[in-house]
Chains A and B, each alone.
Chain A
Amino acid sequence: MGTYIVKRILATIPVMALVAVVVFALLYFAPGDPAEVIAGDHASPETIAAIRQSLGLDQPLPIRFAAWAGQLLQGDLGVSVFSNIPVVTLILQRLEPTMSLMVLTTLIAVVVAVPMGVFAASRSGTWLDRALMGGAVLGFSVPVFATSYLLAWIFSMKLQWLPVQGYAPLANGVGTWFVHLILPSLALASVYIALIARITRTAVLEVLHQDYIRTAKAKGQGHRTILFVHALKNAAVPILTVIGLGVALLIGGAVVTESVFAIPGIGMLTVDAILQRDYPVIQGVVLFFSFMYVLVNLLVDIAYTFFDPRIEY
């Protein structure tokens, strides 16, 4: 198991390197000139040339790539064109709100979706199953920003139970933090819940037909114990996998949710960077989130070994 984990960690390095190369290449080959985009619509050719030079865009491809990769290896993502602050600093400043949003969302999603999927599987074919899975399809189809506005409209505007927008740092107390974060997290969780509930149902259904479940039933184990202990433990691998893969949705959703609820996180940084045409920030954020996604899935792979000792390289 130990060697598996070490090998798995080492295998992540080429993946991250390739991701970095792909991000660089995509942005390099994308139609359009970043210098022109940054300069705006009415810029003179001189301004554009100056911007191109300051960003090193006038250098040939191999030199640009080498310079960029060298910086990256030292943990340097470049400097914001708009504020002149290093991109890494900008990301770190905005890390807490985004992480808070994602962790709370994941907690809500797992706590809601796993029992939902297990119940649907145990009542498979009944109206309860159909209602739960119908709800899951619905959660999958309603865009996150629509859910965000709907929740804000009901709970903040009509009922006035919760603040409409903003973020309160954890340092100011868990209460205000939670009150500001619950609506965005619920909105963001809707898609995640749908995803996890569906996989949980399928995975548990598959396990429920196996012999050891019949044995447990014959032994007189309670219905709940069978479902949540015996069945769920063996269905854990696909569920964990989808939780890991779902982080991609979470990251995309965070960009939207943060801008609807005015949460000053990395998502908002991204949207601001688009409007300010801040090319280094956009590139940096994409890389940061991609690495985070790869690392989360590395953790998921390692977590497999706790549920299924057979997994080895």
Chain B
Amino acid sequence: MGDGEVLVAPALPDLFEDRGRRSALAAVLAHKAIVIGAAIVLVITLMAVCAPWLTPIDPTAIAPLERLKGPSLAHPFGTDMLGRDLFSRVLYGARISLFVGFVIAALSSIIGLVIGLVAGYWRRLDGIVMRLMDALMSIPGILLAIAFMAISGGSMGNVILAITIVEVPRVARLVRGTVLSVRRQAYVEAAVASGSRSLTILLSHILPNTIAPIIIQATYVCASAMLLESVLSFIGAGIPPSIPTWGNIMADGRSIWQLKPSMIFLPALFLSLTILAINLVGDGLRDLLDPRQAGNG
């Protein structure tokens, strides 16, 4: 928890410059991990979006006669203790998980970017802002989210808010580190010396350098947010149980898991696969953008 800068990717390689744009795309497409990861995310996203066409059964429809059935043609994943179709529930659950993950990744990136830019550029604010971020990061993330949820009550908005509060300091710290290292570059000092306005320097010279690290970080935030959401739902402090999410399906399955382990393992499999795919994309992008760490295959 030492003070100081985070290790960040060195100033951007050619990848994101105009003349390099074509080769950047080629480099991304040539990276196996990114392609595989992105393909899996795409398939699961399509599944989530097309859920109403992939299954005719309402994921919340209760059918007492069909309780705890094994897999069949009508119910490929079987049914839960209320006779609800697990295949539908898993498909519709993907919508919530992905939505929560993407929204939190976007929100945390934007808020973290603003805080990091401000702290890194206006040194007077740095002390206060970063001490606050450090304090937030000293509270273990899951507990912070649990405490927040326990008081504000279960709703999708509160889940998003709680997890965003957990993730923002990590992004802010990363952006601040990047700003600090870019500030020392000759071209920024030249811009300062020539009397450019702070806002111009910040937006046109410093901001572009933070984009690559933020994109990489956003993938990790997305993965971590989906994981946190499922944990919150699983222990009963997340999205209301009436909404089918992967975490809620597993929470339903907790009491009968020895009888019907698939209620835990099926959503867990989809969740793990999605998170793995997002992590693959993140690791791949880091390989490409940060040569220091290259060689992860």
Q: Mark A275-313, 1 if CB is under 8 A from B, else 0.
A: 101010011011001100110011001000000000000
Do A146 and B271 have beta carbons less than 8 Å apart? yes
Query: Which B residues lie within 8 Å of A125 (CB)?
Result: 295, 297
Do A290 and B138 have beta carbons less than 8 Å apart? yes
Query: Which A residues lie within 8 Å of B265 (CB)?
Result: 146, 149-150, 153
Known: A37-B151, A274-B146. A153 touches B231 (CB 8 A): no
B235 on the A face (CB < 8 A): yes
For window 206-253 of chain A, which residues contact chain B by CB distance below 8 Å?
244-245, 247-249, 251-253
Dominant secondary structure of chain A at its interface with chain B: helix
B12 on the A face (CB < 8 A): no
For window 218-246 of chain B, which residues contact chain A by CB distance below 8 Å?
223, 227, 230-231, 234-237
B135 on the A face (CB < 8 A): yes
How many Å lie between the Cα of A44 and that of B140 in the bound state? 36
For window 36-95 of chain A, which residues contact chain B by CB distance below 8 Å?
37
B203 on the A face (CB < 8 A): no
Query: Which A residues lie within 8 Å of B131 (CB)?
Result: 18
User: Which of A137, A283, A297 sits near B280, CB closer than 8 Å?
Assistant: A137
Known: A137-B276, A142-B272, A286-B144. A297 touches B1 (CB 8 A): yes
Do B271 and A143 have beta carbons less than 8 Å apart? yes
B9 on the A face (CB < 8 A): no
Query: Which A residues lie within 8 Å of B46 (CB)?
Result: none
Query: Which A residues lie within 8 Å of B271 (CB)?
Result: 143, 146
Closest-by-CB residue of A relative to B162 is A30
Q: Mark A9-28, 1 if CB is under 8 A from B, else 0.
A: 00000010011011100110
A100 on the B face (CB < 8 A): no
Query: Which A residues lie within 8 Å of B149 (CB)?
Result: 274
Do A19 and B272 have beta carbons less than 8 Å apart? no
Q: Which of B67-75, B112-120, B204-212, B256-264 contacts A (4 or more CB under 8 A)?
A: B256-264
Query: Which A residues lie within 8 Å of B230 (CB)?
Result: 143
How many Å lie between the Cα of A273 and that of B237 in the bound state? 11
Closest-by-CB residue of A relative to B232 is A274
Do A137 and B147 have beta carbons less than 8 Å apart? no
Closest-by-CB residue of A relative to B137 is A248
Do A142 and B139 have beta carbons less than 8 Å apart? no
Give the 5 A-B residue pairs with the shortest CB-CB distance, closest first. Answer: A252-B142, A146-B268, A141-B276, A32-B152, A18-B135
